[in-house]
Amino acid sequence: MASAQSAPRDDKLNGTAPCWPAPTATGPIDASVRLPGSKSVTNRALLLAALAEAPGTVRLALRSRDADLMAAALRSLGTEMTPSNDGDAGVDWLIVPHPIRGGVSIDVGLAGTVMRFVPPVAALADGPVSFDGDPHARKRPMGSILSALRSLGATVDGDALPFTVRGPIIGGEVVIDASASSQMVSGLLLAAARFEKGVTVRHSGPPVPSMPHIAMTVHMLRQAGAEVDDSEADVWRVQPGPLRARHVTVEPDLSNAAPFLAAALITGGTVTVPDWPAETTQGGDRLRGLLADMGADVTLLPEGLRVTGTGGVRGIDVDLHDESELTPTIAALAALADGPSRISGVAHIRGHETDRIAALATEINRLGGDARETDDGLEIRPRPLSGGVFRTYEDHRMATAGAVVGLAVPGVEVENIATTAKTLPRFAQMWTEMLDGTAQ
Ligand SMILES: O=C(O)C1=C[C@@H](OP(=O)(O)O)[C@@H](O)[C@H](O)C1
Ligand SMILES: C=C(OP(=O)(O)O)C(=O)O
């Protein structure tokens, strides 16, 4: 298992991971970049298929550390998972559901979707299921969902990883504080059709972040035949009932498109992402507006989303509460912008793969930048950057943010680029292919 740091500290580089010299662009990029499937859609689709009443398929599913951990977890719980057409574009899964079985241990890695979505499924098992993950996973917030499982009838020892879940779970009504992560709500809803009483989840506390991800959960549950009521703010109801077997095709990962599209803006070039969905619940769709606000021409064409840089990057004042996954790329762009930027509404990303607010400020400043942490985000002012090591704290989006900065700043070395395997194992190769002849 990989080692992790909880927060940026001025200690030595971990010494195990070699640094990756980030290519610097020598001219405008002109590329089409096909992104593999969305992590969020893949992991929901696999889980819903495992809970369905008959076999189903998930096409073009993401193959990455987080997706592989979800597949392995469902397999341990008794689901038959057969891959085919495994390649760069993804994998097609045939999924044959079986009764959920206990007596197993599950590795969640550092995947929020595995640590929050699988325990409610484990509460349906015929025996105990234990969970653990990477060292930093033990620090990610879990308390709300684990106490919710207890109120709904399950037995759970502990309020963070490692813990063990024992069913049976009955379901019913529960009040939780989901301000640390929308995944607390999504996790409860995804398995709830299989609880004897379904579930009513009521949120009480500061606003829930990443709401598009809950909309994605509700949408995919409805597609699977579940009856879901989300008509009241901060309340979600899932009726008990069967989930239909389905044939799902996964959309490209729009959040992972962020660094590639940012490259067009920085280099004054053009990047097209094929198969950009005309309608989607992925929060990454907001990139269209964000990149336009930062100075790009953005057009949704039949062949995909096309982003063209028009010379220069503009600073931005933006609340990313709903699309906090985009913060590292937007912060990297802000560090290269010609005016000041403010990112707000993302206090909860201190509980992501690392404390992303602290990590981004530390790494931008290490290269000579001017980034300041606020309680709920970052203030970044223009200042020339110079080369150096960009540390990544086992965080895939810190690694891609380092690559973005490196496009404009010679001599940036990204620590442990392999951490991008969490959601995009071919990142470094795709980045080089995109740059094809326009980098040194
Ligand atoms: O449900 C999901 O698939 C996700 C929800 C969000 O989590 P938070 O609500 O913790 O931000 C997002 O940041 C994460 O990458 C994926
Ligand atoms: C926050 C993220 O991941 P996770 O699903 O592990 O929460 C992310 O991918 O930006």
Could you read off the pLDDT tens digit of each residue along the chain, which spans 440 residues?
222 233 333 333 444 568 999 999 999 999 999 999 999 999 999 999 999 999 999 999 999 999 999 999 999 999 999 999 999 999 999 999 999 999 999 999 999 999 999 999 999 999 999 999 999 999 999 999 999 999 999 999 999 999 999 999 999 999 999 999 999 999 999 999 999 999 999 999 999 999 999 999 999 999 999 999 999 999 999 999 999 999 999 999 999 999 999 999 999 999 999 999 999 999 999 999 999 999 999 999 999 999 999 989 999 999 999 999 999 999 999 999 999 999 999 999 999 999 999 999 999 999 999 999 999 999 999 999 999 999 999 999 999 999 999 999 999 999 999 999 999 999 999 999 999 978 88
Residue 8 maps to a domain: no
Shared domain check, 215 and 117: yes
The residue among 249, 273, 305 that closes a domain is 249
Q: Which ligand is nearest to the CA of 182?
A: 1
Q: How far is the CA of 256 from the centre of ligand 1 (A)?
A: 13
Q: Which ligand is nearest to the CA of 320?
A: 1
Residue 7 maps to a domain: no
The residue among 196, 223, 249 that closes a domain is 249
- Give the closest residue to 91 by CA, choosing from 118, 57, 55: 57
Shared domain check, 214 and 93: yes
Residue 65 maps to a domain: yes
Residue range(s) defining the domain that contains residue 403: 19-35+252-435
- Give the closest residue to 190 by CA, choosing from 334, 51, 331: 51
**Ligand 1 mutation pick, 40, 319, 321, 397, max ligand atoms within 8 A of CB:** 40
Looking at residue 2, what is its pLDDT? 27
Q: What CATH number is attached to the domain comprising 104?
A: 3.65.10.10
All residues at 6 or more sequence positions from 317 whose CB lies less than 8 Å from its CB, including other chains: 341, 342, 344
Q: For residue 146, how far is the Cα from the chain centroid?
A: 21
Looking at 275-336, list the stretches that DSSP marks H as alpha helix, in order from N- to C-terminal side: 287-293, 327-335
Shared domain check, 314 and 363: yes
Looking at residue 18, what is its pLDDT? 80
Shared domain check, 55 and 191: yes
For ligand 2, whether the C-beta of 111 sits within 6 Å is yes
Shared domain check, 299 and 196: no
Shared domain check, 404 and 274: yes
Q: Which amino acid is at 221?
A: L
Looking at residue 253, what is its pLDDT? 98
Looking at residue 305, what is its pLDDT? 98
Can you tell me which residue has the tokens 């660094």? 259
Q: How far is the CA of 140 from the centre of ligand 2 (A)?
A: 11
Residue 107 maps to a domain: yes
Q: How far is the CA of 419 from the centre of ligand 1 (A)?
A: 18
Residue 9 maps to a domain: no
Shared domain check, 165 and 285: no
For ligand 2, whether the C-beta of 424 sits within 6 Å is no
- Name the residue with the closest Cα to ligand 2, atom 3: 112
**Ligand 2 mutation pick, 190, 353, 357, max ligand atoms within 8 A of CB:** 353
The DSSP code sequence of 336-369 is T-SS-EEEES-GGGGGSSS-HHHHHHHHHHHTT-
- Establish how many alpha carbons lie within 13 A of residue 148's alpha carbon, considering only the half-sphere containing its beta carbon: 30
Residue 145 maps to a domain: yes
Question: Known binding site for phosphoenolpyruvate: residues?
Answer: 39, 112, 140, 183, 356, 397, 422
Shared domain check, 322 and 177: no
> Structure tokens of 241?
């009932």
Shared domain check, 285 and 219: no
**Ligand 2 mutation pick, 325, 327, 356, 427, max ligand atoms within 8 A of CB:** 325
Looking at residue 245, what is its pLDDT? 93
For ligand 2, whether the C-beta of 44 sits within 6 Å is no
Residue 84 maps to a domain: yes
The residue among 249, 271, 306 that closes a domain is 249
First to last CA, the chain: 34
Q: 66: part of which helix (H) or strand (E)?
A: helix 65-76
Looking at residue 17, what is its pLDDT? 62
Looking at residue 16, what is its pLDDT? 55
Shared domain check, 187 and 45: yes
Shared domain check, 245 and 261: no
Catalytic residues: 325
Q: How far is the CA of 325 from the centre of ligand 2 (A)?
A: 7
Count: domains in the chain: 2
For ligand 2, whether the C-beta of 113 sits within 6 Å is yes
Shared domain check, 393 and 411: yes
Cα torsion angle, 93, 98, 99, 102, sign: negative
For ligand 2, whether the C-beta of 350 sits within 6 Å is no
